[in-house]
Amino acid sequence: MYSFTFYEKKPHGTFEFPVEYFYIDSTHPRYHMSFHWHKEWELIRVLQGTFTAHADEMEITAHAGDVILIRDNMLHGGSPDNCIYECFLFDLHGLFRSTEVVKRSLRPIYRMQILPNIYYPKDQTPVLHSHVEELMAAHAVATDEAAIWDIHELATIGCLSQIFAYILQNQLYCTGSDESISTTHRIDQIKSVLEYIEFHYQSPIMLDTLAGVAGMNPKYFCRIFKAITQQSPMDYVIFYRIEQAAILLSTTDLSVTEIGMECGFNDCSYFIRTFKKLKQMTPNKYRKTNQELHPHFNH
């Protein structure tokens, strides 16, 4: 997720233990979750404030303690508000590839015959939340001691088994037939546009070009794109460019002018104004703040 490509091909964790944990606060370079998708599932737990998630064509506002479960390959993004949140990515197939009894229970989910719910308010599903809390707590404190890590892996698999068992036992899901073919097609069209932006954001991008990638007329495309992402296509291009600039400010020694040019801004003054508008600080201040708070993001 945090390499900031729309479709993440980078595996999370290792082949034997494909999981990865992130703690995100307002100082994190990936605080605003841009739209993307990946083959892993993702658990998001809000610790403070609110987090408005968009998953496929759904909008969810989660509060402190609430949990969001993103299915594999689901297009999603999120807007935090005075928020601290945790993300836990896991390859559901990979974790249980050698456990036949668990695979048998999960087979309807693998085949998308059952689609687990996305939103789990804390006050409505307290048992599930206790399992999620245990899972997140185990990963919040990293350790390199092999013996402890083996137990850590066992605890992770146990927590995830309990989470999915709870979902299945309490029928917290819909059936695959409830998801319309037209919705899936629209999402795939928008994914194509997002991939185009990823590979061409450094060059001029026109609205007509994006509409053509989606196979829609421009007016209809703008309506569908905004319904899914909550932004107009061109506003989203600018947002993506600024997010890429934030990464470069955090991880390179390139000058502000060089970064602006690298991210598709031919006018440095416009780049600085746009960056300040979206990040509430200048690029130089952002770089200084990020280097102080997150030195591990830098060379």
Averaged pLDDT of the chain: 87
* 211-245 residue pLDDT tens: 999 999 999 999 999 988 889 999 999 999 999 99
User: 188: closest CA among 74, 42, 41, 72?
Assistant: 74
* 84-140 residue pLDDT tens: 999 999 999 888 877 787 888 899 998 888 999 999 999 999 999 999 999 999 887
Q: What pLDDT is attached to residue 57?
A: 82
For the entire predicted model, the pTM comes to 0.76
Q: What pLDDT is attached to residue 27?
A: 80
DSSP 24-44: E-TTSTT-SEEEEEESSEEEE
Least confident of 5-19, 219-233, 282-296: 5-19
Confidence of residue 143 (pLDDT cuts 50, 70, 90): very low
Higher pLDDT, 154 or 66: 66
* 274-288 residue pLDDT tens: 999 999 999 999 998
Task: Note the residue count of the chain.
Answer: 299
**Residues 6+ positions from 139 with CB-CB distance below 8 Å:** 19, 21, 88, 156
Q: What pLDDT is attached to residue 299?
A: 37
Residues 52-65 have a mean pLDDT of 93
> Residue 109 in contact with residue 164, Cβ under 8 Å?
yes
Gyration radius of the chain over CA positions: 20
DSSP 160-177: HHHHHHHHHHTT-EEEGG
> Residue 86 in contact with residue 47, Cβ under 8 Å?
yes
Q: What pLDDT is attached to residue 289?
A: 86
